[in-house]
Chains A and B, each alone.
Chain A
Amino acid sequence: MATLELEGVTTRYGKVVGVEDLELTVGDGEFFVVLGPSGAGKTTTLKSVAGLVDMDAGRVSIGGRDMGGVEPYHRNVAMAFESYALYPQKTVFENLASPLRSGRTGTYDKAEQSKRIELVTTTLGINHLLKRFPRELSNGQRQRVALGRVLVRPADVYLLDEPLSHLDAKLRAAMRAELKQLGEDSSTTSLYVTHDYQEALDLGERIAVLRHGRLVQVGTPEQIWREPADTFVAKALGQPEINLLDGEVTGGRIVAAGGAVSLPVPSGVDVGDRVRVGLRPRDLDRADADPDGGAHRAGAERLHLRGRVHLAERLGRLVELSIEVGDTEIIMVAGSDHAPGEGDVIDMAIDLADVHLFAPGAPGEETARLGSGRPR
């Protein structure tokens, strides 16, 4: 149990930046998620905490103690590697016993070792595999052994590098629920790295979003979701991606999609003469047919759009609609019951509070969020 602080951590590999000037504070017992695409510096962050890479600058402290010059084996952190890093010549039992036998994580006699291993393997559903070698396991089983090697012993900080990435969809969902439970029960400070925004929203008490080795935003899932710091964060969360429309500010209104999208400039938001309008596909409702879409948000001020369905793609219980709105295309997600067909003209609506406004920018350029469409 300990707090974890990163101050100005910079780690480069030659000229390639791993992380740059990273500032993070993880509270005691907090389950903290680092979210980012591959190459964002997530693993580097973990390894910097563990002392497995040489930092070029900055400070890592665990429990208030500066870790500069402290060897990895004296840091009392446990890490699950994305590559599993299981000892190939050792059985699952021996792999799990390894941290208990080193003498640096506490002293455990044979019985205590077996008891701890029994407990953790039962939780992870791998207690029938103890005599196997890593090569005799499926990827999913290996990943659980790697997780077990972390959970089997007490540590100040758990570092978890994409522990669900190699599992198939069903097992991943089950393990994610399992981790959620473990995270809620455990009081060990955890730093969890993932590229999957759903994992991040689900598991994280707080989330840090990384891009190109730099911190973009830190916040609770709610904050990250409702108020993404910029277009990068907005795009990183949510599938399908958020719709971004280039709009112009004229006569006190924001106009986009060739006039098909028009809303008043909200008070309290400082817009110039151009702005980007962000609409999440799932925030858009059918204003015409959705039985409770309009009703349950009665009273909320809404932006209304009309468009023609260009493409309807079934996604399980949902349908993804590509809709021609004015001179642009907007993606929305609707329920599959009574879904419109291709060629239909439909009316949509979205709460002004769910309309995100971003600073203008060139295509491909990420710009900061200015505020929502709801007047303050």
Chain B
Amino acid sequence: MTTAVTATDAAPLTLTDVRKTYLARGREPFEAVKGMSMDIRPGELIALLGPSGCGKTTTLRMIAGLETVTSGAIAIGDRQVQDLPPGKRDIGVGFESYALYPPLNVRENLAYGLKARRVRGAARQVDQLAARLEMSDLLDQRPASLSSGQKQRVALARALIRNPRVLLLDEPLSHLDAAQRQRVRRELKVLQREFGYTTIVVTHDQLEALSLADRMAVMNAGVIEQFGTPDEIYDDPANMFVADFVGEPKINLFEGTAVRRSGGTVVRAGRDGRLAAYAPAATDGQAVTVGLRPQDARPAHDDEPALAARVVVYEDFMEFGLATLEVPGVDGRIVAQLPHGVRWRRGETRRIAARPDRVYLFDTETGTRIR
């Protein structure tokens, strides 16, 4: 740890009704981003999560200035930047493909942006940053000889070298294998904390978003479906899309009918299945889609409403077990993740239940959560 090269002034980033419409001759105009608004606090790590084509990369590129903004405003601190060229925005970008110049060694790659800008003391700055990222030994190597994890760190270093006010990272972990990904993910998070940059990470991997982000935006078809902390997104999904996209194994979704009781709500599903749910807004007899995460399903106590299910497959993963179940009258199968030691057998009938506040009800038509 040598001289600190920290973000001197991490800046808030504000997106106000940002839109992007692609006009192609002879085709319908395509709205890639349909009115994004976000207030990002200084030093916050934000993840943009969504399936491919949801507009997350377009958003990132608009913030970086690599894509024009059709309408709306982007502000870094109190400076409007949407009309500035990329070089004047004070933004560091780490690309998915690393985008390192192959003929230059790591040192030259890092210094490249500084030299282009005729920054004085570029060499010293590179050395300091490299020391800070513990990659001084890589400085004289060429990109081709680096492992993908190392390339990722160089790409990150290059985004950091100009000491930007905002850091943008496009799928930073996608080229790494599972074990590396975990290590680099932790590293990235720790570095981001220490450097204190306002950071946006674009990813399609829900686990990456959950684990990295301070707050995350789940995007779909150019709009934000939900913006909140990982806890909020996972424990309190705003709609069916978010519940379905976040979480692995995936949430079980099946049809049910809400029944209001004095004590609360119960949903009926299948022939005679019942689950207690916490949803004061549900009306009696309302047709709903029930969302139950495999991790939240548990063996039922004798005296509580439950789904009786036949075990189709039981998979033992040593740390936990997965039971694939068939509930009479329910379309599709239901998966329950059970703690290690609960061993169910194929063909058995078992009863499952869940904490009422973990049984989510959605409007079947609109997908909106009924709370």
Contact = CB atoms under 8 A, between A and B. Distances in A.
**Contact, chains A and B (beta carbon distance below 8 A):** yes
Given A314-B230, A315-B207, A239 B182 contact: yes
A177 B315 contact: yes
Interface stretch (A102-110, A168-176, A364-372): A168-176
Interface stretch (B104-112, B120-128, B242-250, B276-284): B242-250
Given A173-B335, A241-B179, A322-B186, A315 B318 contact: no
Contacts of A336: 231, 234-235
Contacts of A311: 186, 189-190
Contact of A184 (B189, B190, B346): B346
Given A180-B315, A202-B317, A313 B211 contact: yes
Interface string B316-335: 11110010100000000001
Contacts of A258: none
A316 B230 CA distance: 9
Interface of A: 169-170, 173, 176-178, 180-181, 184, 198, 201-202, 221-222, 225, 235, 237-241, 282, 310-311, 313-317, 320, 322, 336
A316 B186 contact: no
B212 interface: yes
Given A225-B318, A311-B189, A311-B190, A316 B312 contact: no
A177 B324 contact: yes
A202 B317 CA distance: 6
A291 to B, nearest CB: 13
B211 A202 contact: no
29 contacts: A169-B248, A170-B250, A173-B335, A177-B313, A181-B313, A198-B317, A201-B316, A201-B318, A202-B315, A202-B322, A221-B318, A240-B182, A241-B179, A241-B182, A310-B190, A311-B186, A313-B185, A313-B189, A313-B212, A314-B210, A314-B211, A315-B207, A315-B210, A316-B234, A316-B247, A316-B248, A317-B296, A322-B186, A336-B235
Interface string B245-280: 001111000000000000000000000000000000
B89 interface: no
Contacts of A282: 319
Nearest to B213: A314
Given A181-B312, A184-B346, A316-B234, A169 B250 contact: yes
B178 interface: yes
A44 to B, nearest CB: 20
Contacts of B324: 177
B316 A221 contact: yes
Nearest to A38: B177
A306 B270 CA distance: 48
A290 to B, nearest CB: 12
Closest 6 CB pairs between A and B? A317-B295, A313-B211, A314-B230, A202-B315, A225-B318, A177-B313
Contacts of A317: 234, 293, 295-296
A314 B316 contact: no
A239 B316 CA distance: 15
B313 A180 contact: yes
Contacts of A313: 185-186, 189, 210-212
B316 A202 contact: yes
A182 to B, nearest CB: 10
Contacts of A221: 316, 318
A127 B283 CA distance: 41
A317 B313 CA distance: 22
Contacts of A316: 207, 210, 234, 247-248, 293, 295
A239 B295 CA distance: 17
Contacts of B210: 313-316
A239 B178 contact: yes
B211 A176 contact: no
A250 to B, nearest CB: 31
Interface in B66-107: none
A315 B246 CA distance: 10
Interface in B288-322: 293, 295-296, 312-313, 315-319, 322
Contacts of B179: 235, 241
B25 to A, nearest CB: 30
Pick the most buried of A235, A239, A315: most chain B CB atoms within 10 A of its CB: A315
A225 B248 CA distance: 22
Contacts of A180: 313, 315
A240 B186 CA distance: 11
Given A184-B346, A239-B178, A314 B312 contact: no
B292 to A, nearest CB: 12
A235 B183 CA distance: 13
B133 to A, nearest CB: 18
B230 A173 contact: no
Interface string B198-210: 0000000001001
A330 B186 CA distance: 13
Contact of B322 (A177, A310, A314): A177
Contacts of A237: 318
Contacts of A310: 190
Interface string B173-189: 00000110010011001
B211 A177 contact: no
Contacts of B186: 311, 313, 322
Interface in B208-252: 210-212, 230-231, 234-235, 247-250
B158 to A, nearest CB: 25
Contacts of B190: 310-311
B182 A314 contact: no
Contacts of B207: 315-316
Nearest to A283: B319
A147 B212 CA distance: 37
Contacts of B318: 201, 221-222, 225, 237
